[in-house]
């Protein structure tokens, strides 16, 4: 018996180390690159004129789930869509980092049960996140903010907390967004706690109905609950900007009835541009109302929200959105690292500028869509202090 314990003393650490290496160095990266794939492609054309314009643009992207993955964002990787070196190569000044905290097995656009087995729990455990995140959606959101705070302490990013922060130019600006408000666990106080962690935007829903009301991909298609209305009012009061990317049409109509601030869609598209996206994109008349009231719609780069995911196809979707909503309401909303397949990673964004130019969009409008609109929207709607 004693001998068994003695040998365990040597074997156990080796087994633990082997398990750790397997999870973090082999399985983790493999899952990451499979879930956040880029299609094989040759370098996309970028004319000299397009590159020159691209180099002087202030560029913003409204949605990337990069904090979900065990990837040191300070280093360049050959997997996934986003890290700081690739953001710099793509000329990006402002990136919204969205925090996914729950997503159900068999997730689809047409209808998900709120109590279906959650896959983020498995991911969180396999990536060896702190124990406190295993059973709490709030802690998962807080932990993702803390990952960005760590990069901020190292001088890699500025976390945008006030309108004045939008003026900073020496590092990437990162704004924190929750993908859904289930991390509140039905408690308004958690809006304040997430605000203190740095969150300045909150999505109301993800793929399932939650305490706030109906998701676009949930079962009920209901509007806001009493708690949902109270949360919207609290967010308005606090200066937290509301994202309705995955909310049901009725929920969005209810938000529009009571919100005192413009709202946005961090990643989506228009049904006018691609009719088959009507189970993922909100009806165009809702987008028009969001736009008319000073809001913003980020165009995603993945099938589900647009018909053709090549740079030319993304440019088509942007131009169609501009026709529907006007040039002041459209922005980039990639959904990078959101378990989607794209045709390009963030280092290649000049290909979109090129395609927009090629298709005859004016420099003035390209400037707005690639980042100018987002800069105005967040400067106007973020807290002043
Ligand atoms: Zn999403």
Same domain, 69 and 12: no
Distance from Cα 5 to the centre of ligand 1, integer Å: 49
Task: Round to the nearest angstrom and report the end-to-end CA distance of the chain.
Answer: 65
Distance CA 294, CA 81 (A): 30
Residue 7 token pair = 């040998």
Distance from Cα 207 to the centre of ligand 1, integer Å: 8
Distance from Cα 251 to the centre of ligand 1, integer Å: 16
Distance from Cα 18 to the centre of ligand 1, integer Å: 34
Same domain, 31 and 49: no
Query: Is the dihedral angle over the CA atoms 126, 130, 131, 133 positive or is it negative?
Result: negative
pLDDT score recorded for residue 225: 98
Same domain, 224 and 291: yes
Distance from Cα 267 to the centre of ligand 1, integer Å: 7
Q: How far is CA 208 from each of CA 32, 115, 205, 268, rounded to the nearest angstrom? A: 23, 9, 7, 17
Same domain, 27 and 55: no
Q: Count up the domains in the chain and report the number.
A: 2
Distance from Cα 9 to the centre of ligand 1, integer Å: 46
Q: What is the pLDDT along the chain (385 residues), one digit of tens a residue?
A: 667 777 777 788 888 888 878 777 878 788 888 889 999 999 999 999 999 999 999 999 999 999 999 999 999 999 999 999 999 999 999 999 999 999 988 788 888 888 888 999 999 998 999 999 999 999 999 999 999 999 999 999 999 999 999 999 999 999 999 999 999 999 999 999 999 999 999 999 999 999 999 999 999 999 999 999 999 999 999 999 999 999 999 999 999 999 999 999 999 999 999 999 999 999 999 999 999 999 999 999 999 999 999 999 999 999 999 999 999 999 999 999 999 999 999 999 999 999 999 999 999 999 999 999 999 999 999 999 8
Distance from Cα 335 to the centre of ligand 1, integer Å: 7
Phi, psi of 106 (to 5 degrees): 70, 20
pLDDT score recorded for residue 161: 98
Same domain, 28 and 93: no
Distance from Cα 138 to the centre of ligand 1, integer Å: 18
Same domain, 188 and 101: yes
Distance from Cα 7 to the centre of ligand 1, integer Å: 49
Distance from Cα 382 to the centre of ligand 1, integer Å: 22
pTM: 0.95
Torsion on CA atoms 50, 53, 56, 62, rounded to nearest 10: -70
DSSP string, 182-245: GGGTT-THHHHHHHHTTEEEEES-SSS-BTTB-BTTSSS---B-HHHHHHHHHHHHHTPEEE-T
Of the CA atoms within 13 Å of residue 305, those in its CB half-sphere come to: 26
Distance from Cα 338 to the centre of ligand 1, integer Å: 7
Distance from Cα 27 to the centre of ligand 1, integer Å: 24
Distance from Cα 372 to the centre of ligand 1, integer Å: 23
Beta strands in 261-357 (DSSP E): 264-268, 296-299, 330-332
Same domain, 203 and 290: yes
Distance from Cα 339 to the centre of ligand 1, integer Å: 9
pLDDT score recorded for residue 1: 63
What is the domain extent for residue 18? 1-35
CA-based radius of gyration for the chain: 21
Same domain, 299 and 213: yes
Q: Residue 69 in contact with residue 77, Cβ under 8 Å?
A: no
Distance from Cα 249 to the centre of ligand 1, integer Å: 16
Distance from Cα 380 to the centre of ligand 1, integer Å: 24
pLDDT score recorded for residue 88: 97
Distance from Cα 242 to the centre of ligand 1, integer Å: 14
Same domain, 6 and 117: no
Same domain, 235 and 261: yes
Distance from Cα 205 to the centre of ligand 1, integer Å: 9
Same domain, 183 and 126: yes
Distance CA 207, CA 221 (A): 11
Same domain, 20 and 160: no
pLDDT score recorded for residue 244: 98
């Amino acid at each position: 018996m004693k001998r068994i314990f003695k040998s365990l003393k040597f074997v156990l650490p080796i087994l633990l180390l082997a398990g750790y290496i397997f999870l973090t160095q082999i399985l983790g990266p493999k899952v990451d690159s499979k879930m956040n794939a880029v299609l094989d492609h040759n370098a996309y054309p970028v004319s000299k004129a397009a590159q020159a314009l691209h180099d002087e643009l202030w560029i913003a992207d409204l949605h990337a789930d990069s904090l979900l993955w065990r990837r040191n964002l300070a280093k360049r990787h050959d997997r996934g869509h986003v890290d700081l070196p690739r953001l710099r190569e793509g000329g990006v000044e402002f990136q919204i980092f969205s925090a996914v905290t729950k997503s159900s097995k068999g997730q689809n656009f047409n209808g998900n049960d709120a109590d279906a087995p959650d896959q983020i729990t498995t991911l969180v455990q396999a990536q060896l996140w702190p124990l406190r995140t295993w059973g709490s959606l709030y802690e998962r959101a807080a932990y993702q903010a803390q990952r960005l705070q760590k990069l901020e302490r190292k001088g890699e990013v500025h976390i945008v907390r006030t309108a004045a922060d939008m003026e900073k130019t020496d590092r990437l600006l990162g704004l924190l967004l929750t993908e859904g408000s289930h991390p509140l666990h039905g408690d308004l106080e958690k809006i304040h706690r997430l605000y203190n962690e740095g969150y300045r935007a909150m999505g109301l829903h993800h793929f399932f109905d939650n305490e706030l009301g109906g998701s676009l991909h949930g079962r009920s298609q209901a509007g806001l609950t009493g708690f949902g209305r109270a949360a919207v009012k609290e967010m308005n009061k606090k200066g937290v900007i509301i994202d309705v990317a995955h909310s049901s049409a009725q929920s969005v109509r209810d938000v529009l009835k009571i919100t005192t601030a413009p709202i946005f869609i961090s990643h989506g598209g228009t049904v006018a541009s691609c009719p088959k996206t009507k189970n993922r994109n909100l009806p165009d008349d809702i987008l028009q109302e969001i736009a008319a009231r000073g809001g913003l719609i980020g165009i995603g780069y993945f099938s589900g929200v647009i018909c053709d995911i090549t740079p030319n196809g993304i440019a088509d979707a942007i131009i169609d959105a501009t026709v529907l909503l006007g040039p002041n309401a459209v922005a980039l909303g990639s959904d990078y690292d959101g378990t989607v397949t794209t045709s390009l990673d963030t280092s290649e964004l000049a290909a979109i500028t090129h395609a927009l130019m090629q298709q005859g969009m004016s420099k003035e409008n390209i400037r707005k869509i690639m980042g100018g609109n987002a800069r105005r929207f967040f400067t106007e709607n973020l807290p002043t202090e």
